[in-house]
């Protein structure tokens, strides 16, 4: 498809487990973003990639969260030792270049930690 693709759409896991969430951006988009959205709130910035490098990871809440984009396209958000407070919708977005607020979001991966 032409849009941002995120998998899985739903993930239920147990406290303490490891989780990977995948994002496939729009072809040709060099910038990729991860946001987290809790129920009733706006998206919260996590990390931004320009190409393969993380240009801004200031939104990652702690060192249990890590993201990679090894070839400058697909990105994986990794969460270690999940906690119940990690439950949220994790949104990925991409944009054609930098310095634009026109992000193209995927439908998100809903993570539930039991």
Partner 1 sequence: GESVGLHLPTLSVQEGDNSIINCAYSNSASDYFIWYKQESGKGPQFIIDIRSNMDKRQGQRVTVLLNKTVKHLSLQIAATQPGDSAVYFCAETPPGGYNKLIFGAGTRLAVHP
- Could you tell me the smallest distance in angstroms from the CB atom of residue 72 to partner 1? 16
Q: Could you check whether the bond before residue 8 is cis, i.e. omega within 30 degrees of 0?
A: yes
Minimum CB distance to partner 1 smaller for 16 or for 97: 97
Based on DSSP, count helices (H) and strands (E) in the chain, helices before strands.
Answer: 0, 11
Residues whose CB falls within 8 Å of the CB of residue 24, separated by 6 or more in sequence, listed in order: 4, 5, 6, 7, 73, 74
Minimum CB distance to partner 1 smaller for 19 or for 48: 48
Minimum CB distance to partner 1 smaller for 26 or for 81: 26
- Where does this chain bind partner 1 (CB under 8 A)? 4, 31, 33, 35, 37, 39-45, 48, 50, 55-56, 58-59, 89, 91, 93, 98-108, 110
- Could you tell me the smallest distance in angstroms from the CB atom of residue 81 to partner 1? 25
Distance from the first to the final alpha carbon of the chain: 32
């Amino acid at each position: 498809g032409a849009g941002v693709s995120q998998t899985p759409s739903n993930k239920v896991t147990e406290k303490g487990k490891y989780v990977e969430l995948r994002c496939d951006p729009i072809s040709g988009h060099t910038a990729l973003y991860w946001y987290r959205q809790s129920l009733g709130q706006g998206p919260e910035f996590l990390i931004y990639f320009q190409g393969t490098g993380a240009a801004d990871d200031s939104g990652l809440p702690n060192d249990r969260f890590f993201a990679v984009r090894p070839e400058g396209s697909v990105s994986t958000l990794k969460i270690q030792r999940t906690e119940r407070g990690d439950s949220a919708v994790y949104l990925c977005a991409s944009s054609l270049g930098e310095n634009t607020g026109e992000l193209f979001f995927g439908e998100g991966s809903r993570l539930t930690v039991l």
